[in-house]
């Protein structure tokens, strides 16, 4: 469940860095995220991100429950696959967050250079 918490933190960091970039004139390059932000703003974006986190938490709990009720290789493979997927998602979102921070720094540098 630590990784689910890290996923939540990465999702919130993505929302914050995206909104900071957009406030400075940045454009969301992910077309799905851009559509969500256009239609429902940051509030809808946050709700959808939290739904993803909740879904992953439920998947982890189901996999753990399955492993307890049906111990064996299948249960271990399922939990291992889920753990790797969760960890990969956190790592990828961390790179996205760092990319968003880089964009913010570029916007600030361009703005400072223009004045």
Report pLDDT digits (tens) over 24-74: 888 899 999 999 999 999 999 999 999 999 999 999 999 999 999 999 999
> Would the pLDDT of 11 be above 80?
yes
- Whether the CB-CB separation of 48 and 37 falls below 8 Å is answered with no
Whether the Cβ atoms of residue 51 and residue 8 lie closer than 8 Å to each other = no
In which band, very low, low, confident or very high, does the pLDDT at 115 lie, cut at 50, 70 and 90?
low
Q: Across residues 1-25, what is the average pLDDT? A: 93
- How far, rounded to the nearest angstrom, does the alpha carbon of residue 57 sit from its chain's CA centroid? 14
CB contact at 8 A, 26 and 107: yes
Mean pLDDT in the chain? 93
Looking at 9-18, 74-83, 103-112, which range is the least confident one? Answer: 103-112
Number of structural domains, the chain? 1
Please give the model's pTM, rounded to 2 decimal places. Answer: 0.85
| Residue 30 lies in domain | 2-114
User: Rounded to a whole number, what is the largest CA-CA distance in the chain?
Assistant: 66
What is residue 1's predicted lDDT score, i.e. its pLDDT? 84
DSSP 32-91: HHHHHHHHHHHHHHHHHHHHHHHHHHHHHHHHHHHHHHS-SHHHHHHHHHHHHHHHHHHH
Q: Which residue carries 């454009």 as its tokens?
A: 27
């Amino acid at each position: 469940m630590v990784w689910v918490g890290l996923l939540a933190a990465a999702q919130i960091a993505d929302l914050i860095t995206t909104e900071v970039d957009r406030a400075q004139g940045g454009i969301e390059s992910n077309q799905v995220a851009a559509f969500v932000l256009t239609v429902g703003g940051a509030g809808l974006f946050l709700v959808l991100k939290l739904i993803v986190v909740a879904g992953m938490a439920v998947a982890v709990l189901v996999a753990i429950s399955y492993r307890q009720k049906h111990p064996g290789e299948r249960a271990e493979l399922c939990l291992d696959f889920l753990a790797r997927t969760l960890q990969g998602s956190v790592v990828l979102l961390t790179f996205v967050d760092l990319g968003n921070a880089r964009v913010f720094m570029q916007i600030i540098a361009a703005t400072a250079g223009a004045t």
